[in-house]
Amino acid sequence: MSQYLEIPDTSDSNYWALKITHNGDRSTTFVPKDKELHHELKVRAWKIIQSKQTRRTKVKV
């Protein structure tokens, strides 16, 4: 798998897998192939977002 620095667009089939369900309505969901990498990228993105906000508006998790 390629080295990712941020969560890629859903058109990246190396990163995303399709999950198709047929419960009444057919739905398609994009799920990351590497859940650990996805979690790391989400944490990194959240830190970047938080660092750009003022101290008063930061959300504590």
pLDDT score of 58: 63
Q: What pLDDT digit, counting tens, does each position of 30-45 carry? A: 999 999 999 999 999 9
pTM over 0.85: no
Q: Strands, E, within 1-61: which ranges?
A: 16-23, 25-32
Q: Would you say 13 and 50 are in contact if contact means Cβ atoms under 8 Å apart? A: no
Q: CB count, 10 Å around CB of 12?
A: 12
> Is residue 1 predicted with pLDDT exceeding 60?
no
In this structure, what token pair is assigned to residue 1?
Answer: 């798998």
Q: Would you say 34 and 1 are in contact if contact means Cβ atoms under 8 Å apart? A: yes
CA pair distance 10, 24, nearest whole angstrom? 24
60 or 52: which leads in pLDDT: 52
